[in-house]
Structure 1
Amino acid sequence: MKTVVLGGGIVGVTTAYFLAKAGDEVVVLDRRDGVALETSFANAGLIAPGHSYTWASPRAPKILLKSLFTEGQALRLKPKADWRMWAWCWLFLQNCTVERSRRNTSIKVRLCRYAQQQLQEATREEGLVYDRISGGLLYLYRDPASFERGVSNMAILADNGLPLETLDRQAVIAREPALRAAGGDIAGAIYCPTDESGDAHLFTRALERR
């Protein structure tokens, strides 16, 4: 089979790699003269099933409403005179119930864990070097109420087999001493030992060479 992939970022090149591995004849098209030269050039590079919650949640509508008047919200809504946008918003709001949020997060965390497994296998098989750091990730909380909600919400991820640890302020500083100066602003953290990170630009270039 012949396949054309539009876009030479990390997703496009990784898609092309697995298609080629499955026997397809693949062509990648990009407007730039190399891979990973736009969004993937400076992507955060987090591989984080430990934060695989869905954006559509019971708290999302309030956050979106506040974003109309307040800067710095996690989600932002910019209204436009486009019926397709409002149709999408209606579908988004339908998924903001407790039941659907839990179901969608459960699906997402399983997908994230599978994707991470495929990443690790490709890294091992191809000998990819991309400044990988596999020491886990800390998810910090600044106030006790938020920390309490985070611990409650993490049960969804833990129920799907993801290893997670809750850390109080002292345990956070013990795990990451660089946070000692900010200790007074930390209520606690959730630690996911299997989360990792890397340089998306280096990864995409290395995979392209293979």
Structure 2
Amino acid sequence: MRILVLGAGVVGTAAAYYLASDGHEVTVIERHPAAARGTSQSNAGLVSPGDATAWASPAALKTFLRALYNHDLGIKVRLRFDPYFFAWSLRFLRQCTQARLRANTDIKLRLALYSRGCINAISADTGIHYDERKKGILYFFRSQQSFDTGTDNYRYLAEHGLPIEFVGRDRLVELEPGLAGAKDRIAGGVYSPIDQTGDSSQ
């Protein structure tokens, strides 16, 4: 079968690879002069099952409401008369329960672990490298309240198969010496040793 893939970012390139491996004739079209120069270049470059907790949660509901008037938050909400926006907002808010948080996190964690295995397999099979660093990712918390909430979420991930280490200030600095100067302003952290980082434009 002849298949056309639009976009040579991470997802488009991976899709083309799997389709070609399955015997299809694949053409990739990219509007930029090189691969991974759009959304993939602007992404954080994280391969991070440790970040698998779903966004929609009781905490996100509070943030969503605060974002209506506080524009300095990570979530930006601009009210306007847009039926698609209101429909999306209702769907999002319906997911902001503890039960849906757990159910969606289960799915997201399985997908993240599977995706991590896929990207490592592609790299091993093709010899393509993306400036990858397989040293884990350290998540740290500035306040005790955010640390307590965060560790609850990470304990759930750990119970469902993700290797996790909860770390105090000294261990934080051991893992990342650059935090030594800010040590007293950090409540604690979580280390996910199987997480990875990279640069898709490399």
The TM-score range, normalised by the shorter chain, is over 0.9
Match of 1:94 in 2: 94
How far apart in 2 are the matches of 1:178 and 1:32?
36
> Among the aligned pairs, what percent are the same residue?
39
| 1:74 Cα deviation after fit | 2.5
Q: Tell me the amino acid that sits aligned with residue 143 of structure 1.
A: S
| 1:129 Cα deviation after fit | 2.0
| 1:11 Cα deviation after fit | 1.2
SS at match of 1:201: coil
Contact 1:49 1:109 in 2 (8 A): yes
| 1:190 Cα deviation after fit | 0.4
How far apart in 2 are the matches of 1:60 and 1:175?
29
How far apart in 2 are the matches of 1:87 and 1:70?
22
Match of 1:168 in 2: 168
* Post-superposition CA distance 1:77-136 (Å, at most 9, x none): 122221111111111111111001100001100110001001111111111222110000
Match of 2:194 in 1: 194
Match of 1:147 in 2: 147
SS at match of 1:37: coil
How far apart in 1 are the matches of 2:9 and 2:176?
33
Contact 1:10 1:201 in 2 (8 A): no
How far apart in 1 are the matches of 2:161 and 2:198?
23
Q: Tell me the amino acid that sits aligned with residue 129 of structure 2.
A: V
SS at match of 2:27: strand
How far apart in 2 are the matches of 1:114 and 1:160?
14
SS at match of 1:191: strand
What number of residue pairs does the alignment pair up?
A: 202
Moved over 6 A (4+): none
Q: Tell me the amino acid that sits aligned with residue 45 of structure 1.
A: G
SS at match of 2:18: helix
Answering whether residue 104 of structure 2 is matched by residue 104 of structure 1, we say yes
Match of 2:8 in 1: 8
| 1:58 Cα deviation after fit | 0.8
1:116-155 mapped onto 2 (5 Å cutoff): 116-155=116-155
Stretch deviating more after TM superposition (189-198 or 173-182): 173-182
Q: CA RMSD in A?
A: 1.2
Q: Tell me the amino acid that sits aligned with residue 112 of structure 1.
A: A
Runs (5+) with no aligned partner, structure 2? none
How far apart in 1 are the matches of 2:172 and 2:27?
47
| 1:34 Cα deviation after fit | 2.5
Q: Tell me the amino acid that sits aligned with residue 197 of structure 2.
A: S
